[in-house]
Amino acid sequence: MRKSIRNKLAALIFLINMSIIGITWIMAVFMFKPMYYAVTQAELSSTAGKIVSAIETEGGVTNNTLEQISGFVNVGVCVEIADKYGNGMVLFEGIGDACQIHSGGNGYDFFSQQRKIDSAQAAALRKAVRENARDNYNIHLEDELGNRQAVKGMFYAGEYTIIVSTNLSRTESIVAIVSSQLQTASIIAVFLSLVVATIMSTWFMGPLMKLSNATKEIAKGNYNVKLDVKSNDEIGRLAHEFNHMAEEIQHSQNMQKELLASISHDLRTPLTIIKGYAESIKDITGDNKNIRDQQLTTIIDETDRLSNMVGSVMEYTKLSQGAYRMNIVQFDIADMCKDIVYIYSHKAEAENKSIAYSGPEDAYVFADAQLMERAIHNFVSNALLHTPENTRVVVAVKVQENGKVKVSVFDSGKGIRAEDIPHLFDKYYRARKDEGRSGSGLGLAIVKSIMENHNFRYGVESTEGLGTEFWFEI
Each residue's pLDDT tens digit, 231-288: 677 777 777 787 878 877 777 777 667 666 666 666 666 677 677 767 776 666 656 7
Q: Would you place residue 410 in the very low, low, confident or very high pLDDT band (cuts 50, 70, 90)?
A: very high
Average pLDDT over residues 462-466: 83
How confident is the model at residue 361, as a pLDDT? 92
Residue 413 has pLDDT above 80, yes or no: yes
CATH number for the segment(s) 328-473: 3.30.565.10
Least confident of 79-93, 375-389, 407-421: 79-93
Each residue's pLDDT tens digit, 93-110: 777 667 777 664 333 344
CA neighbours within 13 Å on the CB side: how many for 49?
6
> In the chain, where does the domain assigned CATH 3.30.565.10 lie?
328-473
Q: Mean pLDDT for the chain?
A: 76
Residue 386 has pLDDT above 80, yes or no: yes
Residue 455 has pLDDT above 80, yes or no: yes
Average pLDDT over residues 72-97: 72
Closest-CA residue to 357 (of 330, 372, 376, 370):
376
Architecture of domain 234-320: Orthogonal Bundle (1.10)
Average pLDDT over residues 440-454: 79
Each residue's pLDDT tens digit, 128-184: 777 765 556 777 777 666 677 888 888 777 788 888 888 876 666 777 777 777 777
| β-bridge partners, 149 | 141, 167
Q: Which residue has the higher pLDDT, 442 or 327?
A: 327
The one-letter code for the residue type at 177 is I
How confident is the model at residue 113, as a pLDDT? 43
Q: Which residue has the higher pLDDT, 210 or 431?
A: 210
What DSSP character marks residue 229? -
Which residues, 6+ apart, have CB-to-CB distance to 66 below 8 Å? 90
Q: Which residue has the higher pLDDT, 311 or 374?
A: 374
Least confident of 41-45, 161-165, 280-284, 462-466: 280-284
Average pLDDT over residues 69-82: 76
How confident is the model at residue 411, as a pLDDT? 92
How confident is the model at residue 111, as a pLDDT? 40
Alpha helices in 321-368 (DSSP H): 333-350
How confident is the model at residue 194, as a pLDDT? 77
CA dihedral 55, 59, 63, 69 (to 10 degrees): -10
Residues 138, 457: Cα–Cα separation, whole Å: 90
> In the chain, where does the domain assigned CATH 1.10.287.130 lie?
234-320
Residue 364 has pLDDT above 80, yes or no: yes
- Domain 31-168 fold is Beta-Lactamase (3.30.450)
> In the chain, where does the domain assigned CATH 3.30.450 lie?
31-168
